[in-house]
């Protein structure tokens, strides 16, 4: 983090605010709610229940300023190679750029994104209409998207969140886990000849995805008649078309995603195919346009009204100055149940780093542990720890106000419970008299509320874009590259050498005794030999 002066000032503020209760901050400023509520693209952020005041927020924004946030935003949008270790831009904003904001993003990227979307539309429309069908002229009843991480979490989240937009009876399934039982359970309910497999892998080199792909081919071969060709039953979405084609997927069934889109930022690319398949291309476009509205806001709004900047800097405050090591995401919205997992990848794979852009080891914390679950579940499981545990864990509550038609009473309770949790975290009950120690809640636990009138394609796109840019803001302050993920590579290399070991006839030769011992037992069990 640059600017020692700003950091020293914020540390002083933190010392003072550690001893100030949040409710007293409300008493000291009658305008606190409006001062700490920010709005963009149909989203509202109420940050007033955090332990910070106006001078602290100004100082945090000054820190962002000193970390060149404005220049970094300009670089992101203009295609500078911000992903320095992989020497490429990170232009997910180009995928959702519309005529209003396209001047910020270089035209060639917009054109490439446009071509890719046009191909997606043609393929999706053909599948939906039944024009693209199986060998017997039948349309597909089920689509299985095989992919992991960014090639799974975004599409899955959006499919779950926009159920009300359904315009196709096609069932969408996601196959992410390597466990063969998941594969077996999934295919047991499917008709092979009516199932379309979408192999989603930016690299087309992810071993889990390729294993499931191979099992899908084997399953079709073993269940379909010998005359049936498989060529109509596989689509690939990838940046590595050559590799997908080499495995037998027809060129016309390959949707390309640009290599300047990171995996965890790829839901806006052809990776969003299931969204367009299930809900129609217009819904997919609305989803992109919601994100573009936040892009436009992020690019142009002054820092003091800039939603992603404020959300990011509140996070920096909680992590680096109030020393919280974790962030809970609690959506009071069933349709967003997968949001915590989605944000886990976005925040932790982007900013879970300890080497700065200058190549030095940083001496401050970067991404906190991001986790969570949907509201009703959370409050009957881990919220106990949030209220009375020894760790102070800030919470992002997410709430869509509008009720599902006919379920207004459910919604009243949902809203009440969400507000009650954030109020209880803030107030606690220590000020009450005659309360037993074990019942005491200290309160003064920070939370933010992100709310919207309704969850729809546009507000969902806006919400995801908000968190993407929040992550970017934090990376700018932490001075790290949010667009690579080298930390996952070593595990992949080890897995590959362990598989070689499992396949080999000779005894296990892994270098650490623990791995060797477990492998020996595994191999003995597999071959029926005793250890
Ligand atoms: O291993 C991590 C990762 O590379 C993620 O960044 C990515 O989203 C996921 O694996 C899947 O990668 P691919 O789309 O190349 O299969």
How many percent of the chain have pLDDT more than 70? 98
Using a 6 Å cutoff on CB, does residue 240 contact ligand 1?
Answer: no
Q: Does residue 508 carry a pLDDT above 70?
A: no
Query: Active site residue: 323, 391, 410, 492, which one?
Result: 492
**At 255, which helix (H) or strand (E)?**
strand 254-256
What is the pLDDT at residue 168?
86
The CATH number fitting domain 4-66+301-484, selected from 3.40.50.10490, 1.25.40.20, 3.40.50.150, 2.60.40.1760? 3.40.50.10490
Using a 6 Å cutoff on CB, does residue 149 contact ligand 1?
Answer: yes
Residues 315-330, mean pLDDT to the nearest whole number: 97
**At 154, which helix (H) or strand (E)?**
helix 153-161
| Ligand 1 atom at minimum distance from 349 CA | 6
In tens, the pLDDT along 279-318 reads 999 999 999 999 999 999 999 999 999 999 999 999 999 9
Q: Does residue 135 carry a pLDDT above 70?
A: yes
**Quick one: angle between helices 207-223 and 180-187, nearest 10?**
40
| DSSP symbol at 434 | S
Using a 6 Å cutoff on CB, does residue 150 contact ligand 1?
Answer: yes
Give Cα separations from 424 to 110, 231, 378, 401 (angstroms).
Answer: 47, 57, 14, 20
What is the pLDDT at residue 318?
98
CA of 203 to the centre of ligand 1 (A): 7
| Ligand 1 atom at minimum distance from 206 CA | 16
Q: Does residue 73 carry a pLDDT above 80?
A: yes
Q: How confident is the model at residue 189 (pLDDT cuts 50, 70, 90)?
A: very high
Our answer to whether residue 349 is catalytic in this structure is yes
Residues 125-136, mean pLDDT to the nearest whole number: 94
Nearest-CA residue for atom 9 of ligand 1: 149
Nearest-CA residue for atom 6 of ligand 1: 263
What is the pLDDT at residue 511?
82
Residue whose CB lies within 8 A of the most ligand 1 atoms, among 150, 247, 349, for a mutation test: 150
Higher pLDDT, 433 or 379: 379
Closest by CA to 348, choosing from 331, 364, 330, 371, is 371
DSSP collapsed to 3 states, 22-88: HHHHHHHCCCHHHHCEEEECCEEEECCCCCCCHHHHHHHHHHHHHCCHHHHHHHHHHCCCCEHHHCE
Residue whose CB lies within 8 A of the most ligand 1 atoms, among 147, 149, 201, 488, for a mutation test: 149
Our answer to whether residue 526 is catalytic in this structure is no
Q: How many angstroms separate the CA atoms of 200 and 235, rounded?
A: 8
In tens, the pLDDT along 390-410 reads 999 999 999 999 988 889 999
Q: Does residue 64 carry a pLDDT above 70?
A: yes
What is the pLDDT at residue 1?
75
What is the pLDDT at residue 101?
56
Q: How many angstroms separate the CA atoms of 395 and 447, rounded?
A: 5
| DSSP symbol at 505 | S
Q: How many angstroms separate the CA atoms of 16 and 12, rounded?
A: 6
CA of 362 to the centre of ligand 1 (A): 25
Closest by CA to 200, choosing from 252, 267, 123, is 267
3-state secondary structure of 413: helix
3-state secondary structure of 361: strand
Using a 6 Å cutoff on CB, does residue 488 contact ligand 1?
Answer: yes
Instruction: Please state which of the ranges 94-98, 210-214, 255-259, 477-481 shows the lowest mean pLDDT.
Output: 94-98
Query: Active site residue: 226, 380, 439, 526, which one?
Result: 380
Residues 130-143, mean pLDDT to the nearest whole number: 94
What is the pLDDT at residue 510?
72
Query: Active site residue: 102, 165, 349, 468, which one?
Result: 349
Residue whose CB lies within 8 A of the most ligand 1 atoms, among 148, 207, 351, for a mutation test: 148
- Phi, psi (deg, nearest 5) at residue 338: -85, 0
| Ligand 1 atom at minimum distance from 263 CA | 8
Q: How confident is the model at residue 106 (pLDDT cuts 50, 70, 90)?
A: confident
**DSSP sequence for 307-345:** HHHHHHHHHHIIIIIS---EEEEEEE-GGGTTHHHHHII
What is the pLDDT at residue 99?
62
How many percent of the chain have pLDDT more than 90? 88
Q: Does residue 100 carry a pLDDT above 60?
A: no
Cβ atoms 236, 121 nearer than 8 A? no
Cβ atoms 71, 37 nearer than 8 A? no
What is the pLDDT at residue 430?
86
Residues 35-41, mean pLDDT to the nearest whole number: 97
Q: How confident is the model at residue 490 (pLDDT cuts 50, 70, 90)?
A: very high
Q: What class does CATH assign to 92-284?
A: alpha beta
Cβ atoms 393, 371 nearer than 8 A? no
Residues 136-153, mean pLDDT to the nearest whole number: 96
> For the whole model, what pTM was predicted?
0.96
- Residue-averaged pLDDT of the chain: 94
Q: Which long-range contacts (CB under 8 A, 24 or more apart) does 500-509 make?
A: 502/526
Residues 509-523, mean pLDDT to the nearest whole number: 89
């Amino acid at each position: 983090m640059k600017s020692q002066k700003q950091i020293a000032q914020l540390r002083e503020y933190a010392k003072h605010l550690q001893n100030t209760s949040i409710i007293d901050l409300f008493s000291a400023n009658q305008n606190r709610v409006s001062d700490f509520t920010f709005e963009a693209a149909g989203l509202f952020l109420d940050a007033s229940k955090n332990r910070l005041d106006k001078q602290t927020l100004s100082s945090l924004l000054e820190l962002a300023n000193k970390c060149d946030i404005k220049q970094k935003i300009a670089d992101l949008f203009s295609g500078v190679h911000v992903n320095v270790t992989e020497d490429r831009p990170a232009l997910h904003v180009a995928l959702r750029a519309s005529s209003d904001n396209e001047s910020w993003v270089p035209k060639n990227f917009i054109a490439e994104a446009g071509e890719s979307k046009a191909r997606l539309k043609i393929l999706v429309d053909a599948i939906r209409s039944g024009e693209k069908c199986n060998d017997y002229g039948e349309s597909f009843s089920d689509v299985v998207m095989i992919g992991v991480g960014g090639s799974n979490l975004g599409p899955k989240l959006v499919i779950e969140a926009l159920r009300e937009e359904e315009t196709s009876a096609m069932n969408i399934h996601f196959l992410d886990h390597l466990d063969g039982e998941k594969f077996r359970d999934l295919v047991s309910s499917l008709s092979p000849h009516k199932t379309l497999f979408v192999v989603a892998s930016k690299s087309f080199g992810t071993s889990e995805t390729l294993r499931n792909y191979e099992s899908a081919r084997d399953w079709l071969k073993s269940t379909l008649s010998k005359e049936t060709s498989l060529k109509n039953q596989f689509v690939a979405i990838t940046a590595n078309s050559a590799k997908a084609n080499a495995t037998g997927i027809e060129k016309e069934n390959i949707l390309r995603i640009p290599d300047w889109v990171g995996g965890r930022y790829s839901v806006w690319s052809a990776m969003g195919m299931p969204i367009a398949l299930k809900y129609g291309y217009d819904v997919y476009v609305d989803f992109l346009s919601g994100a573009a509205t936040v892009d436009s806001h992020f690019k142009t709004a002054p820092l003091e009204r800039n939603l992603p900047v404020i959300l990011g800097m509140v996070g920096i405050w909680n992590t680096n100055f109030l020393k919280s090591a974790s962030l809970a995401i609690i959506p009071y919205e069933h349709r967003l149940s997968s949001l915590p997992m989605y944000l886990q990848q976005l925040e932790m794979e982007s900013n879970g780093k300890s080497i700065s852009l200058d190549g030095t080891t940083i001496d401050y914390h970067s991404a906190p542990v991001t986790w969570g679950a949907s509201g009703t579940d959370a409050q009957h499981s881990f919220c106990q720890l949030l209220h009375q545990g020894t760790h102070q864990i800030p919470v992002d509550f997410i709430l869509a106000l509008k009720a599902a038609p006919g379920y207004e009473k459910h919604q009243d309770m949902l809203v009440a419970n969400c507000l009650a949790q954030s109020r209880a975290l803030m107030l606690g009950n220590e000020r009450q008299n005659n309360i037993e120690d074990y019942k005491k809640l200290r309160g003064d636990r920070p939370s933010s509320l992100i709310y919207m009138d309704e969850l729809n394609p546009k507000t969902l796109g806006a919400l995801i874009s908000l968190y993407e840019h929040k992550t970017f803001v934090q990376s700018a302050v932490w001075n790290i590259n949010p667009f690579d993920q080298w930390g996952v590579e070593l595990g992949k290399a080890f897995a590959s050498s362990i598989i070689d070991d499992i396949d080999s006839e000779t005894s296990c030769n892994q270098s650490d005794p623990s791995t060797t011992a477990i492998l020996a037992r595994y191999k003995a069990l597999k071959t029926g030999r005793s250890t």
